[in-house]
């Protein structure tokens, strides 16, 4: 992977609903300078994206590319420039697995919120990778600016629940992804 490529890892529990959705949405919007992958803390290794989430992704224009769930490893965290778990608990698991990841690990919704407080003109002109690299310390500097509840940072887990819960989860993911992409592009 070239040095100018930025590596982003998104993490959920089973790696079949939320994190693959974030992976596919971010990859489709950020382009070739950002490599996006996903993993699960308790992955259903080898499984595809759950059918209801695959339908939501397809309906939003994301290509149906084969997918296999994989389990989170310390090596993945070491290779990632940014880690976006889907809940505060998963953020804690990431940092516990590899403590050095703490400064570049945010929940997806937390990162979107913190970025909204960053002046876009503070980010360099350039590729999404360049802008992401510069955005991480600026977003981290906004931590603690306002108290938030866990449900403001967590994306609901729809696994084996109703289509309405999948729709809610997808909406939470899409809103956060759109907020991040808006700042970076």
Looking at residue 151, its pLDDT comes to 79
Digit-coded pLDDT (tens) for 68-125: 999 999 999 999 999 999 999 999 999 999 999 999 999 999 999 999 999 989 999 9
Residue whose token pair is 């729809």: 158
Confidence at 3, pLDDT banded by 50, 70, 90: low
Among the residue ranges 5-14, 119-128, 169-178, the one predicted with the least confidence is 119-128
Residue 4 clears pLDDT 90, i.e. is over it: no
- Rounded to an integer, the average pLDDT of 138-161 is 89
Looking at residue 148, its pLDDT comes to 81
Measured CA to CA, the distance from residue 93 to residue 169 in angstroms comes to 21
Residue 75's CB: how many other CB atoms inside 10 A? 9
Residues 84, 111: contact at Cβ < 8 Å? yes
Nearest to 185, CA basis, from 115, 128, 119, 129: 128
- Rounded to an integer, the average pLDDT of 117-137 is 92
Residue 153 clears pLDDT 80, i.e. is over it: yes
Model pTM?
Answer: 0.94
Confidence at 64, pLDDT banded by 50, 70, 90: confident
Residue 18's CB: how many other CB atoms inside 10 A? 33
Measured CA to CA, the distance from residue 129 to residue 150 in angstroms comes to 29
Confidence at 28, pLDDT banded by 50, 70, 90: very high
Residue 41's CB: how many other CB atoms inside 10 A? 19
Sheet containing strand 34-40, strands side by side: 34-40, 6-12, 82-85
- Rounded to an integer, the average pLDDT of 164-183 is 96
């Amino acid at each position: 992977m070239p040095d100018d490529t930025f590596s982003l890892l998104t993490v959920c529990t089973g790696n079949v609903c939320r994190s693959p959705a974030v992976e596919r949405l971010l990859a489709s919007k950020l382009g070739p300078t950002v490599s996006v992958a996903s993993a699960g803390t308790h992955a259903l290794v080898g499984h595809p994206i759950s059918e209801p989430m695959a339908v939501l992704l397809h309906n939003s224009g994301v290509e149906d590319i084969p997918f296999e769930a994989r389990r989170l490893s310390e090596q993945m965290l070491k290779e990632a420039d940014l880690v976006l778990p889907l809940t505060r608990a998963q953020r804690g698991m990431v940092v516990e697995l590899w403590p050095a990841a703490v400064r570049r690990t945010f929940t997806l919704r937390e990162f979107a919120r913190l970025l909204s407080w960053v002046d876009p003109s503070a980010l360099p002109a350039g590729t999404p990778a360049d802008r992401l690299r510069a955005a991480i310390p600026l977003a981290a500097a906004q931590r603690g600016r306002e108290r938030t509840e866990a449900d403001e940072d967590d994306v609901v887990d729809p696994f084996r629940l109703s289509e309405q819960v999948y729709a809610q989860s997808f909406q939470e993911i899409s809103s956060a992804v759109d907020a991040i992409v808006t700042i970076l592009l």
